[in-house]
Amino acid sequence: MGYGSLSGRARTNSRSPQAHAICDRCGVRYNHVDLRWQYDWRGASMANIRILVCDTCYDQPQEQLRAIVIPADPVPIVNPRIQDFAAAESNTRVTSGQNTTDPVTGLPVPGGNTRITENNNVRVTQQTGEPPGGLNTEPGTDANAPGNNDPGLPYGNTDVPKTGPLT
């Protein structure tokens, strides 16, 4: 069989002649009508890779070559409202065990107090600079940080807050 074979797997009939052809993969002679085009995934669609093959040599298209079609982004809402993070920031420490109850709603109201530093400054909720226990006791300030009309100073502070033990 193979390239030197005159018949291979092709049928010859003088009353109903059919053309012979060679499989592009195995090189065996077949009737041209018994060969088929090899297709494979190219992006999101199938493409003919332009080789004629027999049934034995035909490969199923590989799904891993198929492009993933991602759906469109959702339509944005009209008049969105984002959270005001500066107003949502809290400098209070909530304690449990001393809760009181709202007389109107009956819901428990957690007790809390404002966190302060050793110098009675309002403690910042997000520390910048060196962590507690580090060698630098004055964290750096950021000129872009929001503050009370004094860029670089955290809310409620008049000077650079000191790091140290939590109080």
100 close to 112: Cβ distance less than 8 angstroms: no
115 close to 91: Cβ distance less than 8 angstroms: yes
Mean pLDDT, the chain, integer: 75
Per DSSP, 124 falls in state P
Is the overall model pTM greater than 0.85, yes or no? no
CA distances (Å), origin 62, targets 29, 38, 46, 47: 26, 12, 10, 12
Taking only the tens place, the pLDDT of each residue in 123-167 is: 655 555 555 565 554 455 555 555 545 555 555 666 665 555 544
- Which of 60, 15, 22, 21 has its CA nearest to residue 40? 60
